[in-house]
Amino acid sequence: MKPTVAILGAGALGEILAGGLLRAGWQLEELSLAVRREERCVELTERLGVACHLDPVAAVAGKRVVVVVVKPKDVPALLDQLKGALEGHQIVLSLAAGVPTTVFEKELGQVPVVRAMPNTPALVSEAVTAYAPGRYVTEESLKEAASVMEAVGKTVQLDENLMDAVTAVSGTGPAYLYLLAEALTDAAIREGLPRHAAQLLVDQTLKGTGALLAETELSPIKLRAQVTSPGGTTAAAVHVLEEAGFRAAVEDAVRAAAQRSREMGEAASEDDS
């Protein structure tokens, strides 16, 4: 069963989510959007056909799942607007990075709040979203909130204290792979390949490898062993990457992103106290 959905903050991610829900079979009248600027509302209604409101309270009326997709810094102002407007049956699904469920519970009372971190492959319905229940969430409300994110990809339930790690791995993850794609394409061009061919080779290699990782039961170690013969080209390349500290650099990058996510979350909680 598809829950009705209000998307508060139909910016980049909010619009991607609305598009994904429509592709997954949600009907126009099962959705509503809210933004602050009238021109953005007009643009969204023209593009998606979904009702758009400048007042978030109007957008949430009659909707089961209320998705919060405003920037973390705009969450307090939105919660001020929403105070007293939610009914007992409504579930808040927050995608705002780093904002704890307690911030919502403090402002809105004993409402079910689910915190989730998706990523931008949602645009092609290939996101991965980790979600964590707040204090007042029931099994049923958790399932309904998860079903919204399943419309744009895969989901996994975790404890809220792991959300900073999720942000650093899959939330930020596309940027790591874009950087790899950029570096690999440049290297291919330096080896003499024409740009269009270099891009196709790199993009499809990433896509195909991702599909193998996701669809086979094999670990990355086993899959890598399959393409590495002793003294061969892959062994030579991997040796250079290991010597250059590739693995340590990835670990440091993830640690830095998780730390930044924690700092941003602490700032969001302090703003609210």
- In the complex, the smallest distance separating the C-beta of residue 272 from ligand NAP, rounded to whole angstroms, is 15
Regarding 100 and contact with ligand NAP (CB under 6 A), the answer is no
Q: Does 74 bind ligand NAP (CB under 6 A)?
A: yes
Q: Is residue 34 at the binding interface for ligand NAP, with CB under 6 A as the rule?
A: yes
Whether the Cβ atoms of residue 66 and residue 86 lie closer than 8 Å to each other: yes
Site string for ligand NAP, 13-32 (x = CB under 6 A): xx------------------
Distance CA 17, CA 167 (A): 18
Of all residues in the shown chain, the one whose CB is closest to ligand NAP is 11
CB 254, min distance to ligand NAP, A: 16
Q: Residue 142 CB, nearest distance to ligand NAP (Å)?
A: 19
Rounded to a whole number of angstroms, the minimum distance from the CB of residue 270 to ligand NAP is 17
Question: Nearest distance from residue 133's CB to ligand NAP, in Å?
Answer: 18
Task: Work out which of 3, 133, 134, 171 binds ligand NAP, going by CB under 6 A.
Answer: 171
Q: Which of 111-119, 145-153, 157-165, 265-273 is the region at the interface with ligand NAP (rule: CB under 6 A)?
A: 111-119
Measured from the CB of residue 143, what is the shortest distance to ligand NAP in angstroms?
21
User: Judged by CB under 6 A, does residue 91 bind ligand NAP?
Assistant: no
**From CA 263, how far away is CA 181, in angstroms rounded?**
29
Query: Which residues would be at the binding site for ligand NAP (CB under 6 A)?
Result: 8-14, 34-37, 40, 56, 69-72, 74, 77-78, 81, 95-97, 117-120, 171
